[in-house]
Structure 1
Amino acid sequence: MSTPHPRVLAFDGLCGLLALAVVLTHVAALTFLPRRTQPSSFDYLLWHFGAPAVDVFFVLSGLVVARSYVRRPALWPYTAARLRCLAPLGLLGAVLGLGLARPARCQPAR
């Protein structure tokens, strides 16, 4: 019999903040203006805040996955549950990525 583990809402909030940090880092990198010779301290912080956020996000994700596996230790039920959760988001991300990358690649070179 599996032991129930209550959902830790702090993980959800922290993962959300970390994901926001990664998005802000990408926005800062994509909107960099090369005419400026010296980035501001805020620009520097935004550019370098994403990497540690990804590291912490992966550690928290590993903890969440481990707790999930403890609840459902049989391999196939665990795998099926993960696929039900992750496959729709993965498919959506792939479709959005292809939809955005395709028009950007078709732009004429200058």
Structure 2
Amino acid sequence: MEATAAAPAAFSKDEAQAKAVDMLDFINASWTPYHAVAEASTRLMKAGFQHIAEKDAWKLKPGGKYFFTRNMSTIVAFTIGQQYQPGGPFYMIGAHTDSPCLK
């Protein structure tokens, strides 16, 4: 089920438990910010995201899913909507894993 701004997704008890276990697996694999970035990179690649280099000119496409890392301790991931137009709105979510660490 996909969440929307108007109506958040409702999960069954089994789905909620599976998501909680997945989060615990991520936390257990993320002893340091470096481990968290490595684990997130692996998960993003499995989800169809493309790794791009921060220093390169990006060739982004509508519907694309991308991420880059910096210093092995920072990760930025983003998607581009199918109907995105330059100058249109965008949404961002941020988090950090450095202090305190996820563990």
TM-score (norm: length of structure 2): 0.32
Q: Which has the higher helix share?
A: 1
Q: Which has the higher strand share?
A: 2
TM-score (norm: length of structure 1): 0.30
Structure number with larger C-alpha Rg = 1
Name the structure, 1 or 2, with higher relative contact order (CA <8 Å, separation 6+): 1
